[in-house]
Amino acid sequence: MNIYLVRHGRQCSKLCNVDVELSKEGREQARLAGERLKKFSIDAVYSSNLIRAVETADLINESLNVERVIDPRFMEADFGDMTGMTNDELKEKYKDFLDQRARMIKDTPYPGGENCEMVFKRAFAALEDLVQKDYENVVVVTHGGVIRALFTGIVGADYAKWLTFGRQIENCSISHIMYDDVNKTYHLERLNDYAHIEDHDELLRKHFGSGFFVKKDK
């Protein structure tokens, strides 16, 4: 089975992990992803239950017209007490945590929320259920944290190193996991493939913000 993990389109808010709808740029990203995925003989489109993922998956499925499933286990990491804060607020209140996170020291949970290992365990459980289905090619619209966690856990890396897998994962990029149902093994085939949007500069994540990494003073 081929599992195509698609990060949701650009959302309409920069507040930390709020459950909001797509922006107009996000809808265009999803449309372009759907056009690209028409070439992949997709059998079903899954998504997390968060609004931005649901809308992205529905827009992609307008091009595919296949089975549509929502699985909450593919939702983004729980950011706990950080949810709903601005980048400036996060950098002021959680500077030490963000610095540790950026340097990948240990797999510390978001304050009041999840860490990589927690995200991996729930998302991988969903993946294990998915590969038992009678599909050949499946799209899963999910989130940057989930994609990083799945890649980290599948290769058996230190969970603290999850940012190694794409510091900047583009919205509506495609990451590809192949499952060998004979040997029961997972294979990482591609990460952060955004060829379908790279000619649309206004849709790239650099125009939305690069997240809340702490930059060192010079």
The rounded distance, in Å, linking the Cα atoms of 76 and 173 is 16
List the catalytic residue out of 25, 28, 55, 76: 76
**Weakly modelled stretches of the chain, pLDDT under 50:** 217-218
pLDDT at residue 70, as a whole number: 98
CB burial class (10 A; 0-12, 13-18, 19+) of residue 148?
buried
CATH 2.102.10.10 fits domain 2-183+193-207: no
pLDDT at residue 167, as a whole number: 85
**Residue 196 a catalytic site member:** no
As a whole number of Å, the CA-based R_g of the chain is: 17
Nearest to 191 by CA among 209, 173, 205: 173
Query: How is the chain split into domains, by residue range?
Result: 2-183+193-207
pLDDT tens, position by position, 115-137: 999 999 999 999 999 999 999 99
Sheet with 67-70, edge to edge strand ranges: 67-70, 44-47, 137-142, 2-7, 174-180, 185-193
pLDDT tens, position by position, 73-84: 999 999 999 999
Q: Are strands 2-7 and 174-180 parallel, antiparallel or unpaired?
A: antiparallel
CB burial class (10 A; 0-12, 13-18, 19+) of residue 30?
buried
pLDDT at residue 210, as a whole number: 57
| Amino acid identity at 193 | D
**Residue 187 a catalytic site member:** no
30 CB contacts (<8 Å, ≥6 apart)?
9, 22, 55, 56, 59, 60, 172
List the catalytic residue out of 8, 25, 114, 170: 8
The rounded distance, in Å, linking the Cα atoms of 195 and 199 is 8
How many C-beta atoms lie closer than 10 Å to residue 113's C-beta?
Answer: 16
